[in-house]
Amino acid sequence: MTTPNNSLSEALAAIFIPIVEEAVRRALHANSHEPPPEAYAAKEFLTIKQAADLYGLGSSTIRLYIRKRQLAARKVGRRVLIKRTDLEVFLDSNRIGVMPNKFLT
C-alpha cells in the first residue's frame, strides 16, 4: 500500500523527469559548436569527423581506409577532406551480400 506522501512524490517525479531530461538535452545541443550530422549531407567535401558522424562510422576507421589507399582523400593544409560521393562509392563497393533463405522457397 502506498502512502499519500509516496504517491505524491511518484506523481511529481513522473511530471518533472521528462521536463528535466528535455532541458538537459537542449542545453547539451546548445553548447555544441558542431551542427547536427544532417547538415553535412549537402556538403560536397567532408572532414573525417563529419564523414564519421554522417555515416555512423568511427574516425579511426575512415583514417585506416585512407591510409590503406582504399578511400580517396585530399589534404588541404592540415585538414584531410573527403569528397562525399567518393565516400558513398566506397561504402557501396564494400557491401556485404545477403544470402537467400532456402527455407522460404
Mind listing the pLDDT tens digit for each residue in 46-68? 999 999 988 889 999 999 999 99
In a domain, 62, yes or no: yes
In a domain, 30, yes or no: no
In a domain, 16, yes or no: no
First-residue to last-residue Cα distance in the chain: 57
**Distance between CA atoms of residues 44 and 76, nearest Å:** 15
Residue 58, C-alpha cell as written in the block:
568511427
Locus of grid cell 578511400: 71
Segment among 1-5, 6-10, 26-30 with least mean pLDDT? 1-5
**Distance between CA atoms of residues 13 and 16, nearest Å:** 5
In a domain, 21, yes or no: no
In a domain, 31, yes or no: no
Give the SS3 label for residue 28: helix
Count of domains for the chain = 1
DSSP 9: H
94 or 64, which is more confident: 64
Locus of grid cell 537542449: 26
Q: What is the CATH number of the domain that holds 53?
A: 3.90.105.50
Residue 72 sits in which domain range? Answer: 37-93
Predicted TM-score of the model (pTM): 0.57
In a domain, 70, yes or no: yes
